[in-house]
Chains A and B, each alone.
Chain A
Amino acid sequence: MKVNVKVNGQNKVFNIEPGDYLLDTLRKENYLSVKKGCDNSSCGVCTVLFDGKPIKSCSLLTAKTEGHEVTTVEGIQKEADKLSDYFGAEGADQCGYCTPGMALSVHALKEENSNPSDEEIKEYLTGNLCRCTGYQSQHIAIRNYLEDK
């Protein structure tokens, strides 16, 4: 089947199987910033924005994107560029595998709640696992980014 979906502002037509999930479609279509980390929607490295809201692309059928908008980190380069400065300052990125998904979640958080508490930041990002950093440095970097420090 065919789906019409806007990816990073561009209209696309994807040729898919009805059972395809968005993660696999995106990687096949060369959106390689979207990573795969698990088989059951539990790690968050595949996070993308669906109509501006963060979702795990491995948990959404591609068919459901018909007429909707999908954003990968390729679509928020400026924000990711800036956020990465804050991550860099705190040493909050190690292997980097979790960071494109994290950037999208942080971007969505900022849009939704520009002044979140520490608890709200944690709550919003729980679904984005990181095995390298121990989280605290990321937390500080994200808070500084949101406060534009």
Chain B
Amino acid sequence: MKVVKHALPSVDGKGLMMGRPAYTDDLADPNSLIVKVLRSPHAYAKIVKIDTSKAEALEGVEIVLTYKDFDRRPHTRAGQGFPEPSPYDKFVLDQWVRYIGDETACVAAVDEETAQAALKLIEIEWDILEPILDFETALDNEILIHPEPEIFENFPIGFDPKRNLAAAYSMEVGNVEDSLKECDVVLEAQFFTQAQAHAAMEPHTVNARMDYQNRLVLYTSTQAPFHIRRIVSQSLDFPMSRIRVIKPRVGGGFGGKQHIHGELLVSTVTIKTGKPAKMVYTRKEVFESSFQRHPMRLDIKLGAMKDGTLKAINCHILSDTGAYGEHALTVFMVAGAKVLPLYNKVDSVKFYGDVVYTNHTSAGAYRGYGAIQGNFAIESAIDMLCEKLGVDPIEFREKNMMLKDETSPIFAIMGEGTEGTAMNMESCELGYCVSRGQELLKWKEKYPRVELADSKVRGVGMAIAMQGSGIPYIDMASATVKLNDDGFYNLLVGATDIGQGSDTVLAQIAAEALETTLDKIIVYSSDSDLTPFDTGAYASSTTYVSGNAVFKAAMDMKRAIVKEGALALGVKVEDIEYDGVVLKAGDKEITLKALSNRLYYSEDQKQLMITNSYFGTKSPPPFMAGFAEVEVDTETGEIKIVEYVSVVDCGTPINLALAKGQVEGGIVQGIGMAVYEEVLYTKTGKSINNNFLNYHIPTRKEINKLTTEFAESYEESGPFGAKSVGEIGIDTPPAAIANAVYNAVGVRIQTLPITPEKILAGILANKAKK
């Protein structure tokens, strides 16, 4: 392959580094009104009276919006395909506020200072209600977070607001209780995972204007522009045909920008005033008032035989969706669906649990999407089980894990909010990943620990993981290829480049299919007026689903070129030989350049422009094995991640450098979740660490050595053999690091993050026992 499987530079990196205006706020109308939101100071309260007259009277204030300005039209901000598997439990503005930071009112003014001043002039009389802040007490609590009658589910997702339940689910293969009775050894353990913030460097940003056709044009930093268009139309009752959503360059998303953020309020301001308006979240708002990872409590039971055969898995999860139910069911289900099939040889497996409302910031989509939570619990528990069994944890995994051409009944049972899709693993190099990872880390020399001088101990640990590639039977993507004179192409995709490099990867797929070079493919994403539909950048779908659409459209284009070439040369289509540059038939030939010029200007004139779509019928999982070497200071509990080895099977990595970037970026976010990051609240539900000074994402000082390799693997159903690679990297660090810490100092951390303080407490407790 000439273009695919090479480490080509991204198509946008240079211009962005050189500072060309490209992000949402760079493209705002300079005369935009500044839109600011009054955020709730209470975790749970009802507005008894709201007086905006003083704010409205302030010079420079254009409009003040409260719940009274909106019809009560429930919707979900989840940004999923329609009908969404998330409850319709949110109003643009509501008389109730359900977490500290919730939207209470909104002001648009000529400048930031005036808008801020106006917010202070809004007078509210509150009825302060008692909140639920401990998710373990939410279910069937007498306090109801969503008592309003209008809210509903689109189809059964276990939604029961009378019980504070946003979603619930259960499934069982075989009979777990019976299987466990037959096991030689049963391990039971409880795990907790924390809320994690996406922390994309670009804050949530949106601006709007009415264009010369009196249509609403939104520029927004989003992962799902087409869903945004639909939700804006639905929830504001504004004709969809009069909305255009443009997604410029996006400064990182990681799931956080799949959701609706400021779009509804900014659109309302622009629709009502006719004036351009913009909103840029403060970092505090990004932390407090956007979304975060679902915290979970996971209760795991594993049963095995003495010979190291895993027989049964029982997994119960309680998940905290916060104030609103975006992605409540689906994230929860992925915690099972993209973890449990790893151990596909069990007799029985049960997965069940509840997703509850609390008065905290809403949880939502976040890279890993439940799989990271499930992975931490299962992969920690596997190591604990192995210790009980006295077997080697790697041998145990090799014996029990998913291999090529195998399947798991879970695929057919569990989808994302719906039934799943049965599939065989036509590509799965997990075995290679596990053995190669051991070599790269020198596992055999280091396992389980090496003692160094000065109270330092090094330990190694590992975990395996899988993810998906899009959502089968739901995700659809499409692509348009247009041939220009001079023989270069436009590639128009609805797929959303949010920094993951999909524009580059999709252009590479097009270039490979069209047998041309990357510079001849001018890629553009995404604009709801110009680019064809795509569900959006989530669920690890872009390379696989959108990539397939691009591949199909490009192959159609090649056929169309050949057909036109045959016409031009006066020969039969079958006689044409075409290498992407010259069309030949015997001694006749015409270059693509000449042909395209002919098509534009001289004979048989026409525009070649072809759109094709792809709609997945399976979701081939990428797999990986992650290996951590940590160094623990036994006197202080401090931990250093010495090295992290990743061996990944993502099918063909379309762009080696970008694929590696996806893995390593994911690994470091996973390390963040494992060791450094945690959204903290006060007892009254106020965020404690709503900034980068107190919420610690890893800096370059924490990252010592990342070793990343790809397994040779080819997924028949993927474009040029590719599967997804966007999420898989994040899944293993929590468990691999927890296992490494245990191997180093004998302290088993079951509640993330793995902080020095918890490690030291464990070391001291172990000492006291001795």
Q: Are B251 and A97 in contact (CB under 8 A)?
A: yes
Give chain A nearest CB distance to B31 CB in angstroms: 12
In the complex, are the beta carbons of B700 and A94 less than 8 A apart? no
Assembly CA distance A89 to B8 (angstroms): 7
With both beta carbons as reference points, the residue of chain B lying nearest to A135 in the complex is identified as: B700
For chain A residues 115-141, which have a beta carbon within 8 Å of chain B?
Answer: 122-123, 125-126, 129-139
Mask of B480-508 contacts with A, CB within 8 angstroms, 1/0 = 00000000000000000011110000000
Distance, CA A135 to CA B8, complexed state (A)? 19
Given known A-B contacts A73-B18, A81-B18, A99-B13, A132 and B665 have beta carbons under 8 A apart: yes
Q: Mark B626-660, 1 if CB is under 8 A from A, else 0.
A: 00000000000000000000000000000111101
> Interface with A: B198-206, B258-266, B319-327, which one?
B198-206
User: In the bound complex, do residue B12 and residue A36 qualify as a contact, i.e. CB atoms below 8 Å apart?
Assistant: no
Determine if A87 and B664 form an interchain contact, defined as CB atoms under 8 angstroms apart: no
Contact of A72 among B19, B500, B664 (CB under 8 A): B19
A66 to B120, CA, bound (A): 33
Known interface pairs A74-B19, A134-B668. Does A85 touch B500 (Cβ–Cβ under 8 Å)? no
Would you call B16 an interface residue if the criterion is a C-beta within 8 Å of the partner chain's C-beta atoms?
A: yes
Q: Is B7 an interface residue (CB 8 A)?
A: yes
Find out whether the CB atom of B23 lies under 8 angstroms from the CB atom of A94: no
User: Contact: B661 with A91, CB < 8 Å?
Assistant: yes
Determine whether the beta carbon of A96 is less than 8 Å from that of B9: no
Task: Assess the A32–B26 pair: CB atoms within 8 A.
Answer: yes
- Docked Cα-Cα span, A135 to B498, in Å, equals 18
Question: Are B203 and A36 touching (Cβ within 8 A)?
Answer: yes
A80 to B283, CA, bound (A): 27
Known A40-B283, A91-B657, A95-B498; contact A33-B201, beta-carbon cutoff 8 A: no
Q: Do residues B249 and A95 form an inter-chain contact, with CB atoms below 8 A?
A: yes
Q: How many residues of A contact B (CB 8 A)?
A: 52
In the assembly, what is the distance between CA of A95 and CA of B498, in Å? 6
Q: With A84-B14, A95-B251, A129-B697 known to touch, is A100 a contact of B19 (CB < 8 Å)?
A: yes
In the complex, which residues of chain A have a beta carbon less than 8 angstroms from the beta carbon of B21?
32-33
B17-A129 in contact (CB<8A): no
A36 touches B699 (CB 8 A): no
- What is the 8 Å Cβ interface bit string for chain B, positions 238-270, against chain A (1 contact, 0 not)? 000000000001111110000000000000000
Contact A80 B252 (CB under 8 A): no
**Pairwise interchain contact A136-B9, C-beta atoms closer than 8 A:** no
Q: Are B283 and A37 in contact, CB atoms less than 8 angstroms apart?
A: yes
When distances are taken between beta carbons in the complex, the residues of chain A under 8 Å from B252 are 94-95, 97, 131-132
**Contact call A96/B691, Cβ cutoff below 8 A:** no
> Given that A39-B283, A94-B252, A135-B668 are contacting pairs, would A99 and B655 also be in contact in the complex, using a CB cutoff of 8 Å?
no
Residues of A within 8 A of B407 (CB): none
B249 lies within 8 A of A36 (CB): no
- On whether the beta carbons of A94 and B661 are closer than 8 Å, the reply is yes
Which of chain B's residues has its CB closest to A74's CB? B19
Q: Within 8 Å CB of B70, what residues of A? A: none
B280 and A84 form a contact (CB under 8 A):
no
Q: Does B610 contact A (CB under 8 A)?
A: no
Q: Determine the residue in chain B with the shortest Cβ distance to A89.
A: B9
A92 within 8 A of B: yes
Known contacts A93-B13, A96-B249, A100-B19, A136 near B202 by CB under 8 Å = no
State whether A135 touches B201 (Cβ < 8 A): no
CB pair A135–B703 under 8 Å, yes or no, is yes
CA A93 – CA B7 in complex, angstroms? 13
Q: Shortest beta-carbon distance, A29 to chain B, in Å?
A: 11
The residues in A between 19 and 77 inclusive whose CB is less than 8 angstroms from any CB of B are 32-40, 42-43, 45, 72-74, 77
Which residues of the other chain, B, contact A32 by a CB distance below 8 angstroms? 19, 21, 26
Report if B61 contacts A (CB, 8 A): no
- Nearest A residue to B672 by beta-carbon distance? A131
Looking at B7, B198, B199, B700, which has the most chain A CB atoms within 10 Å of its CB? B700
B669 interfacial by beta-carbon distance below 8 Å: yes
Cβ of B499: which chain A residues have Cβ within 8 Å of it?
94-97, 132
**Whole-angstrom distance between the Cβ of A128 and the nearest chain B Cβ:** 8
> B700 near A125 (CB under 8 angstroms)?
yes
Any A CB within 8 A of the CB of B218: no
Q: Is B768 an interface residue (CB 8 A)?
A: no
Is residue B82 within 8 Å, beta carbon to beta carbon, of the partner chain? no
B685-699 with Cβ < 8 A to chain A = 691-693, 697-699
> Is B284 in contact with chain A by the CB < 8 A criterion?
yes
Say yes or no: A95-B700 contact (C-beta < 8 A), given A103-B17, A134-B667. no
Interface residues of B in 1-57 (CB under 8 A from A): 7-10, 12-14, 16-23, 25-26
- B693 contacts across to A, CB distance below 8 A: 40, 42
Cα–Cα, bound, A137→B501 (Å) = 15
Name the one of A37, A42, A84 contacting B18, with C-beta atoms under 8 angstroms.
A84
Q: Contact between B665 and A133 (Cβ–Cβ < 8 Å)?
A: yes
Bound CA span A103–B667, Å: 24
With the chains together, A81 CA to B19 CA distance in Å?
Answer: 10
- Report which residue of A34, A38, A85, A131 has the largest number of chain B beta carbons within 10 angstroms of its beta carbon: A131
> Is A98 part of the contact surface with B, judged by Cβ < 8 Å?
yes
Residues of chain B within 8 A (CB-CB) of A7 are: none
- A55 to B669 alpha-carbon distance, docked (Å): 26
| B669 close to A131 (CB less than 8 A) | yes
Select from chain A the residue with minimum beta-carbon distance to B700.
A135
Could you give 21 example pairs across A and B, Cβ below 8 Å? A32-B21, A37-B201, A37-B202, A45-B201, A89-B7, A91-B9, A91-B501, A91-B661, A94-B500, A95-B202, A95-B251, A97-B16, A97-B251, A98-B201, A122-B701, A131-B199, A134-B665, A134-B669, A136-B664, A136-B705, A137-B657
The 7 closest A-B pairs by CB, nearest first: A33-B19, A95-B499, A88-B9, A91-B657, A96-B16, A97-B251, A134-B664
| Residues of B participating in the A interface, judged by any CB pair closer than 8 Å | 7-10, 12-14, 16-23, 25-26, 198-203, 249-254, 280, 282-284, 498-501, 655-658, 660-661, 664-669, 691-693, 697-701, 703, 705-706
Further 9 A-B residue pairs, CB within 8 A, beyond A40-B283, A129-B697, A131-B254 = A34-B19, A45-B201, A72-B19, A73-B19, A80-B18, A91-B10, A99-B17, A132-B252, A135-B698
